[in-house]
Amino acid sequence: MSTSTAFAKARAEGRAALVGYLPAGFPDVEGSIAALRVMVESGCDVIEIGLPYSDPVMDGPIIQAAAQQALDAGIRTADVLRVVEAVAATGTPTLVMTYWNPVERYGVERFAQDLANAGGAGLITPDLTPDYAPEWIAAADERDLDKVFLVAPSSTDERIALTTAASRGFVYATGIMGVTGTKQATAAGVAPLIARTKALSPKGGADLPVGVGVGVSTGAQAADLAAYADGVIVGSAFVRTLLEHPGDRAAGLAALAALTEELAGGVRA
Amino acid sequence: MSKAGSTGSYDADALGWFGGAGAFGGRFMPEALIAALDELDTAWQGAMADPEFTGEFERLLHEYAAVPSMLYDATRLSEHAGARILLKREDLNHTGAHKIRNVLGQALLTKRMGKTRVIAETGAGQHGVASATAAAYLGLDCTVYMGEVDTERQALNVARMQLLGAEVIPVTSGSRTLKDAINEALRDWVASVDETAYLFGTAAGPHPFPSLVLSFVRGIGDEARQQCLDQYGALPDAVAACVGGGSNAIGLFAGFVDDPEVAIYGFEAGGDGVETGRHAATIFAGTIGVLHGARTYVLQDEDGQTVESHSISAGLDYPGVGPQHSALAAAGRATYLPVTDAEAMDAMSLLARTEGIIPAIESAHAVAGALRVAKERPGQTILVNLSGRGDKDMGTALEYFGLGTAGEKK
């Protein structure tokens, strides 16, 4: 299933899509595959797999800690692609969220090809904006990969138009001004950005769903935001759940399933 | 007067690329910060075109920071070197380094933009102290991010910043050094951008920072060039500076980049020796990548993860470098070479004993490099940027040379 199909299916059901994030290699490579499969089984419509990076400037302490743990254990880019392959095999659209340097170092063409070969749907690029992305845009378009760029409350109308025109799959609206896992996004706070994004998207956003992430962690928030957004993206809350069960995999996965179900209930409320 | 941020023939284009579109520099940043970077760019261009702003900047530099710094003919060191060494005495500026130029410019710009708070990152603490100084003088709130490892090895500078009224936040993520302090300052900025300006400490980072910082430090090179002509009637044969992020170096080089007869040398921190892997010789031994918002030479592994740098000098201990230096290196206009910890400490001692000047360990790398250049250019004139003074490094010197016990001659 493609990302846009997953969003369309949720829309047809009169609800928002639930997008869940975990970094690859956290708590370890096999552990991350098991955790992401639990998230798929428990109600995530789209999966984002984080590529751990040494200098993650958009991430708060929770995701930093998980990424650092993965790096300390020696995760490689090839391992991340292996996690993508395992999760994409479930049929759920699976994107990679990555800072730009690891892709550039791997080789943009090579990364795009290996991602496509692994069944990955595309990339979310928190520190790459369309005006600096010609190489990625060309490589993605050649292989029908999703290009998920970000818009923020501070974005000008001109930049929202530029970003939505270049995006494919969905456009990622940051719910707060800040990094992941710190402040809480509110529907009132993010509604103006969603409205602007819709209005400035090609064809009024008919082909480009808007997902809201950064600052979303509970079912109640998911329910509030689902009234405005096409998708609700959750990352730090999943990571925190696993961090809270360091020695007990089974308990961690059970807690992860419970959180996913709470959020999946939220987007259907 | 050169135009704002100019490196002569090596200017950035409108998107911040040096050396051609996509080559070096650019702006690899979260969308949340793009509006602030555009606002900064516009305000800076406007300020540099406003004689009231540039006049106030020049006045402050002169009356408050003791700029222009002198150009000094180091005859005893020259005798030792076998070439004539001229020292640009940035160590005599207020707060003890070239960095006061950059922070006064950026803090004045902050006031002009109506913002009330500044944040900064610092490695050794010099940029933090300079930022705290400018913030105190101009009545701005100041928060400085400093790696926990650095707060321990530079406790005196932490105290200086606190005395100046700044809040110093130790950074405990990643390698707990300068690169992580930059990460943490960027995270603060994403959440506080409406009222906060980020005083970036070197000529690196996303567009427009490399060009903006250059516009405030290029006085080093412009003054040195004119002083050379006025005092000695000729340009130097070569200029030399240490390169960490590279602000003192680009400030010097900008004055000479369009004089093809002047050779340009940048000296990076060779740490224990480049062959040991424990160094910060980013251009000499690194590869092209993206770090802290710019495409440039980076110390990274095969997967693009940043590798920790090593240097006895905290100010050069950074795994990236300003994109202008990468462009100058790629174009062959400047030569970048490593200087080891041991060579730098020898040069620190030599300058102290021949000239009675104790340089910062950063600047001692430039002196050591110049001594090497002197061997290839006997009798020629080499202008060295003495970017900072060594007071802050006495703890390191005490340990390195085994000093501090009276009655014992070292």
8 Å CB contact of A178 and B190: yes
State the ipTM, two decimals: 0.96
Kindly name the residue from B78, B247, B311, B387 that is annotated as catalytic.
Answer: B387
Q: Please give the share of chain B, as a percent, with pLDDT higher than 70.
A: 97
The catalytic residues of A are: 48, 59
Q: Which domains does chain B have, with CATH numbers?
A: 18-63+98-213 (3.40.50.1100), 68-96+217-401 (3.40.50.1100)
**Number of Cβ atoms within 10 Å of the Cβ of B290:** 25
pLDDT computed for residue B340 by the predictor? 98
pLDDT computed for residue B2 by the predictor? 40
pLDDT computed for residue B1 by the predictor? 34
Number of Cβ pairs closer than 8 Å across A and B?
A: 119
Among B13, B303, B306, B309, the residue to mutate for chain A (most A Cβ within 10 A): B303
8 Å CB contact of B173 and A61: yes
> What is the rounded CA–CA span in Å between residue A126 and residue A48?
12
Q: Which of B173, B193, B304 sits opposite A106 (nearest CB)?
A: B304
B173 as an active site residue: the answer is: no
Domain boundary assignment for chain A: 3-267
Q: Which of B28, B35, B303 sits opposite A155 (nearest CB)?
A: B35
Strand order in the sheet with B17-18: B17-18, B24-25, B294-298, B287-291
* Identity of residue B58: E
pLDDT computed for residue A212 by the predictor? 96
Do residues B208 and B37 touch, judged by C-beta distance below 8 A? yes
The residue of chain B nearest to residue A63, with distances taken between CA atoms, is: B173
Helices (H), B115-204: 126-138, 148-153, 155-163, 178-192
> What is the rounded CA–CA span in Å between residue A104 and residue B294?
12
Q: φ, ψ for residue B406 (rounded to 5)?
A: -65, 150
8 Å CB contact of B173 and A101: no
pLDDT in tens, A214-262: 989 999 999 999 999 999 999 999 999 999 998 899 999 999 999 999 9
pLDDT computed for residue B9 by the predictor? 58
Query: What would the two tokens of residue B277 be?
Result: 């892997």
8 Å CB contact of B31 and A159: yes
The answer, for A184 touching chain B at a CB cutoff of 8 Å, is no
Residues of chain B with pLDDT under 50: 1-3
The torsion of the CA quartet A249, A250, A254, A260, rounded to 10 degrees, works out to 40
pLDDT in tens, B177-191: 889 999 999 999 999
pLDDT computed for residue B18 by the predictor? 95
Give one word for B217, left, alpha or beta, with left for phi > 0 and alpha for psi -120 to 50: alpha
8 Å CB contact of B31 and A149: yes
The answer, for A129 touching chain B at a CB cutoff of 8 Å, is yes
Distance from CA of B289 to the nearest CA of A (A): 6
The residue of chain B nearest to residue A178, with distances taken between CA atoms, is: B191
pLDDT computed for residue B153 by the predictor? 77
- C-alpha to C-alpha distances, B1 to A80, B5, B64, B115, B215, nearest whole angstrom: 52, 11, 22, 28, 11
Residue A123 has pLDDT above 90, yes or no: yes
Angle at B215 between CA B209 and CA B218, to 5 degrees: 125
**Number of Cβ atoms within 10 Å of the Cβ of B378:** 9
Among B28, B31, B121, B169, the residue to mutate for chain A (most A Cβ within 10 A): B31
Rg (CA), chain A: 17
Contacting residues of A for B21, CB less than 8 Å apart: none
Query: What would the two tokens of residue B128 be?
Result: 């933090």
- Give the E-state strand segments of A144-219 in sequence order: 146-148, 150-151, 171-174, 210-213
Average pLDDT, chain A: 96
Contacting residues of A for B305, CB less than 8 Å apart: 53-54, 71, 102
Sequence-distant (6+) residues with CB within 8 A of B236 are B86, B228, B256, B262, B380, B381, B382, B383
Do residues B266 and B362 touch, judged by C-beta distance below 8 A? no
pLDDT in tens, B63-84: 999 999 999 999 999 999 999 9
| Pairing label, strands B335-340, B294-298 | unpaired
Kindly name the residue from B6, B78, B99, B131 that is annotated as catalytic.
Answer: B99
Q: Which of B295, B298, B305 sits opposite A71 (nearest CB)?
A: B305
**Number of Cβ atoms within 10 Å of the Cβ of B386:** 31
Q: What is the 3 state secondary structure string of B272-303? A: CCHHHCCCECHHHHCEEEEECCEEEEECECCC
pLDDT computed for residue B4 by the predictor? 54
Give the closest residue to A49 by CA, choosing from A110, A90, A12, A104: A90
DSSP 8-state secondary structure symbol assigned to residue A183: S
Give the closest residue to B78 by CA, choosing from B343, B336, B377, B397: B377
Do residues B196 and B115 touch, judged by C-beta distance below 8 A? yes
8 Å CB contact of A101 and B30: no
Q: Which of A57, A132, A152 sits opposite B183 (nearest CB)?
A: A57
Q: Please give the share of chain A, as a percent, with pLDDT higher than 90.
A: 91
DSSP 8-state secondary structure symbol assigned to residue B389: B
B387 as an active site residue: the answer is: yes
> What is the rounded CA–CA span in Å between residue B366 and residue B347?
9
| Pairing label, strands B71-73, B84-89 | antiparallel
pLDDT computed for residue A176 by the predictor? 87
The residue of chain B nearest to residue A60, with distances taken between CA atoms, is: B187
pTM for the whole thing? Answer: 0.96
Contacting residues of A for B186, CB less than 8 Å apart: 57
How many separate helices (H) and strands (E) can be counted in chain B?
Answer: 16, 14
Give the closest residue to A242 by CA, choosing from A266, A228, A260: A260
How many separate helices (H) and strands (E) can be counted in chain A?
Answer: 12, 9
8 Å CB contact of B183 and A55: yes
DSSP 8-state secondary structure symbol assigned to residue B338: E
B142 DSSP β-pair partners: B118
pLDDT in tens, A151-204: 999 999 999 999 999 999 999 999 888 888 888 989 999 999 999 999 999 998
Sequence-distant (6+) residues with CB within 8 A of A145 are A112, A115, A116, A120, A121, A122, A123, A139, A168
> What is the rounded CA–CA span in Å between residue A100 and residue B300?
13
Contacting residues of A for B40, CB less than 8 Å apart: none
CATH code of A3-267, in short, is 3.20.20.70
Average pLDDT, chain B: 95
